[in-house]
Amino acid sequence: MELKDLRREVSGFARIMTSYDIAELELEMEGLTVRLRRETDVSSPHKVGVGAEAPSEDNRIIITAPMVGTFYRAPAPDEEPYISAGGTVLPGQTVCIIEAMKIMNEIQSEVKGRVIEILVENAEPVEYGQPLFILETL
Amino acid sequence: MELKDLRREVSGFARIMTSYDIAELELEMEGLTVRLRRETDVSSPHKVGVGAEAPSEDNRIIITAPMVGTFYRAPAPDEEPYISAGGTVLPGQTVCIIEAMKIMNEIQSEVKGRVIEILVENAEPVEYGQPLFILETL
Amino acid sequence: MSDLSIQKVVVANRGEIALRIIRAAKELGIRCVALYSEPDRDSLPVIMADEAYCIGPGPSARSYLNIANIISAALLSGADAIHPGYGFLAENSYFAEICSSHGIKFIGPNHEVMNNMADKAMAKQLMSEHGLSVIPGTRGIIQDTREAEAWVAEYGFPVMIKATAGGGGKGMRIAYDLDELISNVKFAQAEAEAAFGIPGVYLERYFPGARHIEVQILADEKGSAVQLGERDCSVQRGYQKLTEESPSPALDDNISTAIKNAALIAAKAAGYTNAGTIEFLVDSDGRFYFLEINARIQVEHPVTEFITGVDIVKAQFIIASGEPLPFDQKDVKMKGHSIECRICAEDPERNFAPSPGQISKLVFPGGPWVRTDSALYPGCHVPPYYDSIIAKVVVWGNDRDEAVARMIRALGEFIIEGISTNLKFQQRLIASPEFKEAKIFCDSDVLSLVFGRTD
Amino acid sequence: MSDLSIQKVVVANRGEIALRIIRAAKELGIRCVALYSEPDRDSLPVIMADEAYCIGPGPSARSYLNIANIISAALLSGADAIHPGYGFLAENSYFAEICSSHGIKFIGPNHEVMNNMADKAMAKQLMSEHGLSVIPGTRGIIQDTREAEAWVAEYGFPVMIKATAGGGGKGMRIAYDLDELISNVKFAQAEAEAAFGIPGVYLERYFPGARHIEVQILADEKGSAVQLGERDCSVQRGYQKLTEESPSPALDDNISTAIKNAALIAAKAAGYTNAGTIEFLVDSDGRFYFLEINARIQVEHPVTEFITGVDIVKAQFIIASGEPLPFDQKDVKMKGHSIECRICAEDPERNFAPSPGQISKLVFPGGPWVRTDSALYPGCHVPPYYDSIIAKVVVWGNDRDEAVARMIRALGEFIIEGISTNLKFQQRLIASPEFKEAKIFCDSDVLSLVFGRTD
């Protein structure tokens, strides 16, 4: 298995853990061990009414791929990325491009937020629903 | 389904309930409803250390069929049954006969006890392990 | 590593047919890419495939019919072919054309042939020119009831009024006299307008007691074609097939041979390639009429596989790779009798309402000459978005009696809990004297037969 | 309601073969009585049968070998026949005799024939008189090493030393020279004394690289017999069969025909009735030697069913009912190639130690021409008391290459969790070049071949 395949698998497992609220996942196969651990705390979205002092995870939102295609961080190879970690985005601002069937689709943020993490490498394929960015809403 | 078949089925269900410690069982089929309820109390064998004041169920034992065959309560059709409800049995005393392959097998009690209930009708087939008598040990 | 030019295939479908395609591809050494909607994430085709891409949320329009996402995933995966299965995009010539323009082989006939055959009037015209009897009908859409009256004056009753935009049994009405004709044409036009946004309807002669017969064709891209015998799909409920069998229990050898020959003529006339089905209606006098060509693998292909030993889906890959068919007509030997029952997630007690949900307990029928094609597994979810077929139970016997006894046995050992299914309904149907005597056909009242009442 | 004289059968077995028998009986309209030990209470045969009786606790000696309880249950249920399956009481002529004395038809040959065939020396003598080559060997038990030396002086090396009380691969040793002969005879006698309490051993010529071939026979009680082709059971581990196939990939047509004819002669010489198997050893020069008759349905009967279309278990019921075989030799047409893999609850990494336990996850292989015979279901328990075979995966293909590709595909989609199995071991074996080239035979070192090492 190549590293890039592994990354896609791990991202898939991470998504399953989020969907089913799983705290730990361990996998062992021939020559491969994967351990994942999530912070599932009182602020879990399944628990209602925790209120004011909820930690910052509550403010996080994930931008996912709305289509299958190739993920690009910048409008062209020699240009600056649309956004970078630590930067701020505004509603309607383009955060990346997904190329599908030779068409460049600009993907916009729906919220105002700070970029916490970029989850996909430039020029990588993404499937529908794959997490691309973690934002902290502002 | 004939009544005799039904009885065997119900006895089977009762056994399942005992095996798995089930308190209630309800069944509905075309034209047939069966409801069974068991007293599963603190003296259940699954709970350990209840001790001295355990109710009488703790003293109950069940004599089961050690072989497949036909159950007879008496040595011959015109004779008295070996034991009757309310009577007392001693260790080694014959409680019934199971006829298998034309051979009359006398079944003995291993304990001293009072007969609480006789679970099988005279001349009925019994399978291996089927409960025959409930005794209260003395 | 496949010996064929196709090395990696995208399976643009779900459920049992996706699994069927993966099985055939794996046996040929072709790598498989599953595409799935979000609710199908944990489905068996995704588990069994070599790789998988999510192509959208549950509703088909946004996933299994989402051409852009499907083509993107195919390009990203580096696949050289797409198998569309049945339903969804299987008979969409536009999709086939896009595949081809992206250098991806669409496993099916040429998109122009698909386009021609999708135009039912043109297809009938073509077959008529090649000497086949076609269902008598109006040349196209009728403008008003007077045109309908004129046609009926020439061809007679009964007639069926069909919506051009309909299909799969939807938008059909029968008229036995002039009053019914006038009211049904008006009603059908209004209904079609409401249901499909297109009010166009046309007329066809209706044959009571007719049987629905189709012939399986395989045609390679070198010009060779074989037929794999007929299937009798007459047992239907509201134009939806319930069970299919091969050979037909109702055709004598002469008619069967004539229909199979006609099917080969039709396939050649259409320039058809890959696997396809030529559909006929056979009236109670044994006359048969060309209906249409189904340009896809069909749900009921396993019955043909059972009696011929030919793996039709493998043959699709071989043909799509540009190879000649590895056998010719004289190599095709039919043996015994095969029957399929469609098991659907629907509740016969509530007018066959769909019954999605989680499968809590599942034991498939097994043993000799029983094949269960299904993507179910214990604990899986049947999502509410898709076709209700969840399993196909297919049996083979040396003769029809043995096959019927085997089907009764197989359905009897099928355990499926957690959702409602038509399993018991199918059991009663197969065990009925009418089925044993092959007296059930398209317009039989299957419901009253099975339930012992009309509703 | 069955058309046969047998109306109700007791299935005196468990697991997949009990299910197989129930399936055949149900297709014939015969009512089924399952017998079960306490740990098998929730097993599929009990669920599928029409009625069921518990006959004892887990250990076989007290349940599936408990003749008194089995006969009692048969009498109580009012059954008119008993099917013994394989193993347990299947080849116990005493049991067959008791059945018959109670007016219950034992489904198998006459108990006297069983008795004669169980005496291997007598069976060999009989076949030799009917012109068959038999494995050269001592006439009976050898008294001492001098007797062994004398025999070897006449017949030569290598020889196999077998314990009379052994069987199923136990108590066998090979000697290539005089030193080995002397030490192994002594060792084998001591071993047999310790293991079976009977020190008797005898000698047989040993043929390195020989193949294990058996011929399926059906013989009715009217004097007719047919053969259903040969099975090649050469792929073994320590004399235990791993995979079987039909036809043999190693025999040419002349040898195959000669062996099949010899099998018919053997069956008739023995006065054999019902289903049985005639076993032969075929040496590397194509000479074949009668070994023994297996007087039962065999584990590997499905491969023969796949290539002939004959339901062997149904045929057993028909024959046992006193009916003539419904077909003769010329009606038996063989088509294609079939392979079976035995899936066992055992751990190849721990010297194939048994691995009982609860099945946590289970998905059987499926799709076209794949048959999985198994009484497993999700959540069921594999008890520690019985044979470790938990499933048989059987495939058919138009030729051996297709069958091998299909078996690789089928094993690849088999999911079984909760216990250890030999599934991966079988996958590697089937996918090996040696298997594809049919170069594996009884004394091949299967372990080193699969694991790439000797141990």
C125 located within any domain: no
Report A:11-50 residues touching C (Cβ under 8 A). Answer: 16
Residues D156 and D279 in one domain: no
Dump pLDDT digits (tens) for C303-357: 999 999 999 999 999 999 999 999 999 999 999 999 999 999 999 988 888 899 9
Q: Quick check: D23 and C368 CB within 8 A?
A: yes
C421 located within any domain: yes
Nearest CB neighbour to B128, from listed D69, D75, D102: D69
Residues D244 and D298 in one domain: yes
**How many angstroms separate the Cα of D150 from the Cα of each of D143, D153, D173?**
12, 5, 18
Domain that includes residue D88, residue range = 8-107
ipTM of the complex: 0.79
What is the pLDDT at residue D195? 74
Residues D220 and D163 in one domain: no
Residues C253 and C353 in one domain: yes
| Alpha-carbon distance D437 to nearest alpha carbon in chain C (angstroms) | 18
Which residue ranges make up each domain of chain B? 3-37, 60-137
Please identify, among C205, C220, C241, the residue that sits at the C-terminal boundary of a domain.
C205
Contact D328, D320 (CB under 8 A): no
List of E strands, C116-179: 159-167, 170-175
Q: Are strands D8-11 and D81-83 parallel, antiparallel or unpaired?
A: parallel
C129 located within any domain: no
Contact D276, D266 (CB under 8 A): no
C130 located within any domain: no
Report D:268-327 residues touching C (Cβ under 8 A). Answer: 302, 305, 309, 311
Dump pLDDT digits (tens) for D356-396: 999 999 999 999 999 999 999 999 999 989 999 999 999 99
Dump pLDDT digits (tens) for C161-198: 988 766 656 668 899 999 999 998 988 888 878 777 77
Dump pLDDT digits (tens) for C284-293: 899 999 999 9
Q: Which residues contact C448 (CB under 8 A, 6 or more apart)?
A: C454, C455
What is the pLDDT at residue A50? 27
Nearest CB neighbour to D371, from listed C309, C335, C368: C368
Nearest CB neighbour to C69, from listed A16, A67, A70: A67
Catalytic residue among D211, D296, D371, D406: D296
pLDDT confidence tier of residue C29, bands split at 50, 70 and 90: very high
Residues C200 and C215 in one domain: no
Nearest CB neighbour to B127, from listed D68, D73, D102: D73
Q: Which residues contact C101 (CB under 8 A, 6 or more apart)?
A: none
Residues C243 and C194 in one domain: no
> What CATH number does the domain containing C283 carry?
3.30.470.20
Q: Quick check: D76 and B125 CB within 8 A?
A: yes
Dump pLDDT digits (tens) for D163-201: 876 665 566 889 999 999 999 898 888 888 877 777 888
pLDDT of D340 > 80? The answer is yes
D115 located within any domain: no
**How many angstroms separate the Cα of C287 from the Cα of each of C176, C215, C229, C292, D310?**
21, 16, 18, 16, 36
What is the pLDDT at residue A7? 60
Q: Which residues contact B70 (CB under 8 A, 6 or more apart)?
A: B98, B99, B100, B123, B124, B125, B126, D76
Nearest chain D alpha carbon to C304: D368
Q: Within C197-300, where are the H helices?
A: 253-270
pLDDT confidence tier of residue B110, bands split at 50, 70 and 90: very high
pLDDT confidence tier of residue C23, bands split at 50, 70 and 90: very high
Residues D196 and D256 in one domain: no
DSSP string, B50-84: --TT--GGGGEEEEE-SSSEEEESSSSTTS--S--
pLDDT confidence tier of residue B32, bands split at 50, 70 and 90: low
Describe the strand order of the beta sheet including D274-282 as a list of residue ranges. Answer: D288-294, D274-282, D211-219, D225-237, D240-246, D337-344, D389-397, D370-373
What is the pLDDT at residue A45? 32
What is the pLDDT at residue C212? 94
Residues C271 and C322 in one domain: yes
Residues C199 and C87 in one domain: no
Please identify, among D205, D221, D252, the residue that sits at the C-terminal boundary of a domain.
D205
Dump pLDDT digits (tens) for D134-164: 999 888 888 888 999 999 999 999 999 988 7
The mean pLDDT of B90-113, rounded to a whole number, is: 91
Which candidate in D37, D50, D72 is best for mutational testing of the B interface (most B CBs within 10 A)? D72
What is the pLDDT at residue D308? 98
| Alpha-carbon distance C26 to nearest alpha carbon in chain D (angstroms) | 6
Dump pLDDT digits (tens) for D67-97: 999 999 999 999 999 999 999 999 999 999 9
Contact C177, C157 (CB under 8 A): yes
What is the pLDDT at residue D296? 95
Distance CA B29, CA C86 (A): 39
C98 located within any domain: yes
pLDDT of C455 > 60? The answer is no
| pLDDT > 90: percent of chain D | 81
Which candidate in D47, D60, D69 is best for mutational testing of the B interface (most B CBs within 10 A)? D69
> What CATH number does the domain containing C22 carry?
3.40.50.20
What is the pLDDT at residue B55? 37
Dump pLDDT digits (tens) for C219-250: 999 999 999 999 999 999 877 899 999 999 99
Considering chain C, what is the average pLDDT of its residues? 93
pLDDT confidence tier of residue D110, bands split at 50, 70 and 90: very high
**How many angstroms separate the Cα of D206 from the Cα of each of D158, D161, D215, D441?**
5, 9, 21, 14
Residues D191 and D237 in one domain: no
C362 part of contact set with chain D, CB < 8 Å = yes
**Sign, CA torsion D22/B101/D275/D171:** positive
Dump pLDDT digits (tens) for C410-447: 999 999 999 999 999 999 999 999 999 998 877 777 87
Nearest CB neighbour to B127, from listed D54, D57, D68: D54
Nearest chain A alpha carbon to C56: A128
Name every residue in C having a CB less than 8 A away from some CB of A: 38, 41, 53-57, 63, 68-73, 75-76, 102
Number of domain units in chain D: 3
What is the pLDDT at residue A51? 29
The mean pLDDT of C353-371, rounded to a whole number, is: 95
- Tell which residue, A105, A82, A112, has the closest CA to residue A95: A82
Residues C282 and C352 in one domain: yes
Q: Which residues of chain A have pLDDT under 50?
A: 19, 40-56
D153 located within any domain: yes
What is the pLDDT at residue D169? 59
> What CATH number does the domain containing C144 carry?
3.30.1490.20
pLDDT confidence tier of residue B45, bands split at 50, 70 and 90: very low
- The pTM of this model reads 0.86
The CATH fold of domain B60-137: OB fold (Dihydrolipoamide Acetyltransferase, E2P) (2.40.50)
Residues D292 and D397 in one domain: yes
Please identify, among D56, D91, D107, the residue that sits at the C-terminal boundary of a domain.
D107
Which candidate in B128, B130, B132 is best for mutational testing of the D interface (most D CBs within 10 A)? B128
The mean pLDDT of D427-444, rounded to a whole number, is: 89
What is the pLDDT at residue C188? 86
Considering chain D, what is the average pLDDT of its residues? 93
Nearest chain C alpha carbon to A102: C72
